[in-house]
Structure 1
Amino acid sequence: MILLVVIASVLIAGVTIYQYREQSNDYHENRLERKEEQILQSMNYVLQETTYEPSTENLAHIFRTEIYKIADVQNVNFNIYDLEGQLIKSSKPAFEADSISNCLDAEVLNNLEISPTKRYVEEKRAAGDNYQASYTYINDPKFKPIGIINLPYFEDNSFNDMELKEFLMRLGGVYLLMLLSAIILAYFVSKYITRSLQTVADKLHQTNLSKRNEKIYIENPSEEIGKLVHSYNSMIDQLEQSAAKLAKSEREQAWREMAKQVAHEIKNPLTPMRLSVQSFERKFNPTDPDAPEKLSEFSKTMVQQIDIMSNIASAFSNFADMPAQQKETLNVVEVTKLALDIFQEPYIHFISDETTLIAKLDRTQLIRVVTNLVKNALQAVPEIDNPRILVTVAQEKDWIKICVADNGIGIPDAHKEKIFEPKFTTKTSGMGLGLGMVKNIVENYHGTIEFTSQEAKGTVFIVKFPKE
């Protein structure tokens, strides 16, 4: 509404200025023609009454005094030229003394000659005003040209400009009043329209799946607002039904994920336990002098894996995190080395510049992080001629860094963004939960996990825990 008023005022002001200028031009053109017509009539009258023969040579004698009378009566000055453009007589004596004006330009004579009306008007600007000069043939009683009359005309637009200024001021006042009225009206109309819409907007902003949402009640709403409110209230009813179905679906999905996670976590220690038992059964010799020590080591490894399964089972039964995180002060170097003892592959190497790096972590979950990363590395090097897996523990400022590097097949670029997603796997077996759980464990301790990988060259996983 406001924009329309502004555009209308600008357009009308522009049209008004254009119309005033066109009217002014038409007025000056008509006035010049009228003056020229009146002077020609007066000159024709003199030519008919004179005793001189109407010819070019006698124009100076015929209008020796009559030119001043005509100029005085018509209140305008004019000049008389012969057909060659030479000045014969002027109603202003001072003009005759101007040698520059004593001869017409060839352009004027040519334009006058080729003009169908035998009339030519020259337009110029002089002293900041528009200047017109008309040129017309003077004919004898037999309509034969004997001279040229020149009528200079200065356009005086002061009156029109003053009228235009006054009109624009009045128009501006009217449109200013209309603009203020439009602003006030637009304000109250918008407040009236948006009053109900603001209520709807507030309710939409407060809508939340996790809580019960209130319906909208508005007294005497307009038809459109009433339809909007009715649609919102219907949406709230449908939303509550959908929320109930979603909550049920999420609970069922949570149990399914929990079952998959438990199965995966129990499977992790079972495989090395089976390998350890088979290896122990094959290599154990009761007569070996180191038999008690090997038996003790074997028992320690088995108890460690059994404890892991016990913790998983306890966490599942309590429907808590798997397993619950317990912060205890431990030596990361020692626990990492202990986690590697279940692997029998000779190409797994462990390096640490420090013998003791203390942090507050959960022993079981730290072992899970290491074993999961090593298992992934083992699955990446089965087809390599000279496989190598290197596990390092080091201190980096206020962080303890654990690196697991392999020279395996690497991770394709297309899979790098999804590598930590649950259930994502590139292997034919397994459920793809290992790296996702490792990431959750590390982040729960405010740590970070990242990796670099090149196809056919290998992968390096870097885990950092804060040193406390």
Structure 2
Amino acid sequence: MALKNLSLRSRIFIAMILLVLLASVLIGAVTIHQYNEEAREYHADRLERKEAAIRRSIDLVIDETFFPVITEKLPVIFREEIFNIANIHGLQINLYDLDGQLLKSSKAALQNNKVDVCLDAEILNQLSNTAEHRYVFENKINGKVFQSSYSFITDKKFKNIAILNIPYLEDDDIFNRELNEFLLRLGYAYLVMILAAIVLAYFVSKYITQSLRSISDKLNEIRLEKRNKKIEIESSGAEIETLVKSYNSMIDELEESAVQLATSEREQAWREMAKQVAHEIKNPLTPMRLSVQSFQRRFNPADVDIHIKVSEFSNTLIQQIDTMSSIASAFSNFAKMPAQQNEQLNIVHVVKLALDIFNENYINFEPESDELIAKFDRTQLIRVVTNLVKNGIQAIQERETERPQINVRVFSSEDFINITVEDNGSGITEENKIKVFEPKFTTKTSGMGLGLAMVKNIVETYKGRITFTSEYGKGTIFTVAFPKQ
């Protein structure tokens, strides 16, 4: 799991280092195995050569002896010669009769313990049953490896008269010293190789992943609302080049799709807006029409209350006309992009002015300090604050809470000025949260739902952002943040 979380560059780097380490371990293991095999072959060949030389010496003694060449006379024949032969070849020599009893040995201690020295039946069987009539037995004593070869001694007529045994100690000190020296030199060589591999792996992994990093950075920068740059990478492999071509082709298709989508969304938005405006305008027209028709039917110039009725009729029309006028103004304000008239403002002072138009006594203003300076348009800032506060007042009226409260705070954080408007109104449901800033969306029984959309439009024009948190039935907090400069 941890390996999956590593970057491609780290995995390439680790893989190359592990490959070199694995190669060094394998070569070391093969070297040790090869040395052991060579040592084993060397001892086997050396024992065979020594045995052949000793047999020649024994045959020479047998040829020159004046005693009868029989098993019983061998201790006499080799009474002194066995020591000479052993000294010449540097090995112990033991002579056994055909039943496995010791006849003569170049080792005095063994000669004095004839009762305890007797060949096993297995050795006699192996010696008799092999085609070469030769048997080599290997055993370990005190951590040292001994080989014992057994073969027949024949007379001049090639008749078996005795068994020759040559114990042989495998002395690996020379091989071990050579092996240790070779492994030490190999270790130094691989230490240098590992250091070189680390440097090489660093640059190779960097070279391989550099193109992928460029592509990754470009992918992270992709935005539907802006023009995305294509990737231009030189000296890249065929796979990377294919990936770059696919990315550039995707950018072209994305731009085409973005243009089509923007056009489609813009047309759809204006169509929906036109429907909404038409619907809102029809609402006051219907009572106006009914009022005019009713006035026509009931109009009587001789009526003594005619002036009162005309006044009521006029007031009704004026109210409906004002409603249509407010609809037109809201639509106009939303459609018109705010001009960026950046001027140095005391944000605390401007927000306080915006709040002074409200008569509600539950609106609390909590500035961080008396003066927070930033560049903004005074009119647009007032419009932002008043819309957010109006939205909070309407939310409180919907909930009909016993202790209504709206807290407006102004404070700074790093390079931003923050304005928060918190209410304990009805809150926003989960399904409506994604629609809050959409034009024409509203949960109110009146209005066009353009207030928050207009606020978002103004804030983003000044490179700011607006966010909110809300819990249904408990209240909402809107936060506006825009740069100081």
TM-score above 0.5: yes
Distance 1:141 1:31 in 2: 27
If the length of structure 1 is used for normalisation, what is the TM-score? 0.56
> Which deviates further from its counterpart, 232-241 or 29-38?
232-241
Distance 1:38 1:250 in 2: 105
SS in 2 for 1:123: strand
Distance 2:28 2:189 in 1: 12
Q: What letter corresponds to residue 9 of structure 1 in structure 2?
A: S
Distance 2:188 2:92 in 1: 43
If the length of structure 2 is used for normalisation, what is the TM-score? 0.55
* Aligned 1:173-192 pairs, distance under 5 A: 173-191=188-206
260 and 52 in structure 1: CA distance in 2 versus 1, 3 angstrom threshold = farther
- Which residue is 2:471 aligned to? 448
- Which residue is 1:124 aligned to? 139
- How far residue 216 of structure 1 moved from its aligned partner, in angstroms, is 4.9
Q: Does residue 50 of the first structure (1) align with residue 38 of the second (2)?
A: no
Does the 8 Å contact 1:330/1:361 carry over to 2? Answer: no
- How far residue 94 of structure 1 moved from its aligned partner, in angstroms, is 0.8
SS in 2 for 1:148: strand
- How far residue 98 of structure 1 moved from its aligned partner, in angstroms, is 4.0
- How far residue 90 of structure 1 moved from its aligned partner, in angstroms, is 0.9
- How far residue 157 of structure 1 moved from its aligned partner, in angstroms, is 0.7
* Aligned 1:6-155 pairs, distance under 5 A: 6-98=21-113, 101-155=116-170
> Which deviates further from its counterpart, 226-235 or 176-185?
226-235
SS in 2 for 1:136: strand
Q: What letter corresponds to residue 46 of structure 2 in structure 1?
A: R
Does the 8 Å contact 2:396/2:424 carry over to 1? Answer: no
- How far residue 47 of structure 1 moved from its aligned partner, in angstroms, is 2.2
- How far residue 40 of structure 1 moved from its aligned partner, in angstroms, is 1.6
Percent sequence identity is 51
Distance 2:78 2:169 in 1: 24
- How far residue 67 of structure 1 moved from its aligned partner, in angstroms, is 1.2
362 and 419 in structure 1: CA distance in 2 versus 1, 3 angstrom threshold = closer
* Aligned 1:54-453 pairs, distance under 5 A: 54-98=69-113, 101-191=116-206, 198-216=213-231, 221=235, 232-233=247-248, 235-255=250-270, 446-449=469-472
Distance 2:143 2:246 in 1: 70
Does the 8 Å contact 1:445/1:465 carry over to 2? Answer: no
- How far residue 27 of structure 1 moved from its aligned partner, in angstroms, is 0.5
420 and 446 in structure 1: CA distance in 2 versus 1, 3 angstrom threshold = closer
Does the 8 Å contact 1:196/1:221 carry over to 2? Answer: no
Distance 1:103 1:63 in 2: 19
Does the 8 Å contact 2:139/2:147 carry over to 1? Answer: yes
- How far residue 259 of structure 1 moved from its aligned partner, in angstroms, is 7.6
- How far residue 156 of structure 1 moved from its aligned partner, in angstroms, is 0.6
> Which runs of 5 or more residues in structure 2 are unaligned?
1-15, 282-321, 336-354, 363-389, 403-422, 436-441, 444-448, 453-466, 478-485
- How far residue 238 of structure 1 moved from its aligned partner, in angstroms, is 3.8
- How far residue 74 of structure 1 moved from its aligned partner, in angstroms, is 1.6
- Which residue is 1:381 aligned to? none
144 and 262 in structure 1: CA distance in 2 versus 1, 3 angstrom threshold = farther
Q: What letter corresponds to residue 67 of structure 2 in structure 1?
A: Y
Q: What letter corresponds to residue 471 of structure 2 in structure 1?
A: T
133 and 259 in structure 1: CA distance in 2 versus 1, 3 angstrom threshold = farther
Distance 1:16 1:190 in 2: 31
- How far residue 143 of structure 1 moved from its aligned partner, in angstroms, is 2.1
Distance 1:259 1:101 in 2: 122
Distance 1:80 1:221 in 2: 81
> Which deviates further from its counterpart, 203-212 or 2-11?
2-11
Deviations 1:210-241 (A, max 9, x none): 223344566x6568577766665554444333
Distance 2:324 2:112 in 1: 127
SS in 2 for 1:246: helix
Deviations 1:250-303 (A, max 9, x none): 23444566688899999xxxxxxxxxxxxxxxxxxxxxxxxxxxxxxxxxxxxx
- How far residue 446 of structure 1 moved from its aligned partner, in angstroms, is 4.2
- How far residue 107 of structure 1 moved from its aligned partner, in angstroms, is 2.3
SS in 2 for 1:208: coil
Deviations 1:350-393 (A, max 9, x none): xxxxxxxxxx97576678x89xxxxxxxxxxxxxxxxxxxxxx9
- How far residue 186 of structure 1 moved from its aligned partner, in angstroms, is 4.2
26 and 101 in structure 1: CA distance in 2 versus 1, 3 angstrom threshold = farther
- How far residue 33 of structure 1 moved from its aligned partner, in angstroms, is 0.8
- How far residue 76 of structure 1 moved from its aligned partner, in angstroms, is 0.9
> Which runs of 5 or more residues in structure 1 are unaligned?
267-306, 321-325, 332-359, 371-392, 394-398, 403-416, 423-432, 450-462
> Which deviates further from its counterpart, 222-231 or 234-243?
222-231
- How far residue 151 of structure 1 moved from its aligned partner, in angstroms, is 0.9
Does the 8 Å contact 1:330/1:363 carry over to 2? Answer: no
Cα RMSD, aligned residues only = 5.3
